[in-house]
């Protein structure tokens, strides 16, 4: 894929600052915790970025690490892209604040609202909350970077935390494709891989691969700690057990909040998980268990291949993907293409052009898609 001299090419994995500041415009980050702080750090130095946090101490720490800060209203009014990085239970009131700030900004015309995106782990909540933005003509594109640590807070933020990680970018029938493409530049500039998804598909998927693992990790930790053989489980625990309970050491408040907001999808995932274990143990003969674990090995290899965007090491090399172009004024078919790409386990790796001049997207898709 080539680009003409007057168009920039944004690619994932090119390192922090893979695009010029013009590709993003002015970015405002609301909430400078682990994720918001990492976004701001990843953009600083190469992009016009500023941040806001409700904690003055965090604002001071951000200044100390080179991130300009400002009031919430100022962030909203000066930005072309506003990234909301607050807990899921704070999304509605934050969107309300954005709506009010835009309504009071006499310096903007109705055609100049910022694009708003977020990092919420439950995207149906974000989609519902965004109605207040739509009422003010503010476009919203939901987002959820699948990156993080067991420990949160700005002090643990890192500029490189998103490099090579998936970043879900949400769209539905009402999402502005122009706004979607503008927002896509953000994760690509941070080195992430863009995974398109509809909000309901996203919540079902993260209920299985993120929220259910938090519950399982918590259950394993609780069971081992209350064992009738006292401290022996801890003394004998190896790497597999430590890996499985790793997320149990994170924030209890964060885990409880995201699981409660996605409780229906989590309950469905828990039910299917319990059924699968029951199938495995219903006939504990060697041959049955061997078949169960062999199937799991193949499934794990396929999941790793999709997760890393390439073949499993030592396996046959497979095609890395390609590119597809939509001419200016004919972007609508892109909507279903993006949804299908995400459902297949694929992701976008680069963008060339914009909605006005035509768009070429580079992508990776699993074999057979």
In a 10 Å sphere around its CB, with 0-12 CB exposed, 13-18 middle and 19+ buried, how is residue 274 labelled?
A: exposed
Q: What is the pLDDT of residues 26-84, one digit of tens each?
A: 999 999 999 999 999 999 989 999 999 999 999 999 999 999 999 999 999 899 999 99
Distance CA 154, CA 35 (A): 8
pLDDT at 304: 84
The single residue listed with the structure tokens 């997760």 is: 307
Q: What is the pLDDT of residues 264-279, one digit of tens each?
A: 999 999 999 999 999 8
Instruction: Report the chain's mean pLDDT, rounded to a whole number.
Output: 87
The pair of three-digit structure tokens given for residue 54, joined into one six-digit string: 């409700």
pLDDT at 110: 45
pLDDT at 314: 34
pLDDT at 151: 86
CATH of 202-282, one of 3.40.50.720, 1.20.950.20, 3.40.980.10, 1.10.3660.10: 1.10.3660.10
* Whether 127 contacts 170, CB under 8 Å: yes
The pair of three-digit structure tokens given for residue 126, joined into one six-digit string: 């974000």
Q: Give the N- to C-terminal CA distance of the chain in Å, as an integer.
A: 20
Q: What is the CA radius of gyration of the chain?
A: 22
Between 136 and 15, residue with greater pLDDT: 136
Strand stretches in 153-230, DSSP E: 166-170, 193-197
pLDDT for residue 342 is more than 90: yes
The pair of three-digit structure tokens given for residue 200, joined into one six-digit string: 């309901």
Q: What pTM was computed for the model?
A: 0.87
The whole-number average pLDDT for the span 273-294 is 90
Strands 81-84 and 115-118 come out as parallel
Task: State the fold for domain 9-197.
Answer: Rossmann fold (3.40.50)
68: Cβ–Cβ under 8 A, 6 or more apart, which residues? 49, 50, 51
Question: 3-class DSSP state for residue 315?
Answer: coil
pLDDT for residue 189 is more than 70: yes
Of the ranges 4-8, 81-85, 165-169, 211-215, which one carries the lowest mean pLDDT score? 4-8
pLDDT at 117: 98
The residues spanned by each domain of the chain are 9-197, 202-282
The whole-number average pLDDT for the span 341-364 is 90
Cα dihedral sign, 26-32-33-38? positive
Distance CA 247, CA 166 (A): 18
């Amino acid at each position: 894929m080539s680009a003409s001299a007057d168009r920039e090419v944004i690619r994932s994995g090119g390192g922090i600052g893979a695009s010029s500041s013009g590709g993003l415009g002015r970015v405002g980050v609301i909430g400078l915790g682990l994720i918001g702080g990492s976004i701001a750090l990843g953009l600083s130095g190469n992009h016009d970025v500023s941040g806001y946090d409700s904690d003055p101490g965090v604002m001071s720490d951000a200044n100390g690490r080179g991130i300009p800060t400002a009031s919430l209203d100022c962030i909203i009014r000066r930005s072309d892209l506003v990234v909301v990085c607050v807990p899921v239970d704070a999304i509605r009131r934050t969107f309300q604040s954005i709506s009010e700030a835009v309504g009071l900004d006499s310096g903007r015309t109705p055609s100049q609202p910022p694009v708003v995106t977020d990092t919420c782990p439950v995207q149906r909540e974000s989609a519902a909350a965004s109605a207040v933005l739509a009422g003010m003509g503010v476009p919203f594109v939901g987002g959820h970077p699948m990156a993080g640590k067991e420990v949160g807070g700005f002090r643990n933020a890192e500029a490189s935390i998103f490099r090579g990680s998936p970043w879900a970018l949400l769209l539905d029938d009402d999402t502005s494709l122009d706004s979607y493409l503008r927002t896509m530049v953000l994760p690509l500039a941070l080195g992430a891989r863009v995974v398109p998804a509809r909000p309901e598909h996203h919540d079902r998927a993260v209920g299985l691969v993120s929220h259910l693992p938090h519950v399982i990790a918590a259950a394993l930790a609780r069971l081992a700690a209350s064992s009738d053989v006292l401290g022996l489980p801890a003394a004998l625990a190896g790497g597999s057990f430590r890996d499985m309970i790793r997320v149990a050491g994170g924030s209890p408040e964060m885990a409880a909040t995201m699981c409660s907001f996605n409780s229906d999808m989590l309950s469905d995932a828990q039910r299917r998980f319990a059924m699968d274990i029951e199938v495995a143990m219903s006939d504990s003969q060697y041959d049955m268990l061997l078949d169960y674990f062999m199937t799991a090995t193949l499934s794990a290899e396929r999941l790793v291949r999709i997760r890393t965007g390439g073949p499993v090491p030592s396996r046959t090399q497979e095609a890395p993907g390609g590119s597809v172009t939509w001419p200016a004024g004919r972007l609508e078919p892109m909507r279903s293409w993006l949804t299908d790409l995400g459902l297949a386990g694929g992701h976008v790796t680069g963008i060339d052009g914009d909605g006005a001049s035509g768009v070429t997207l580079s992508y990776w898709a699993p074999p057979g898609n």
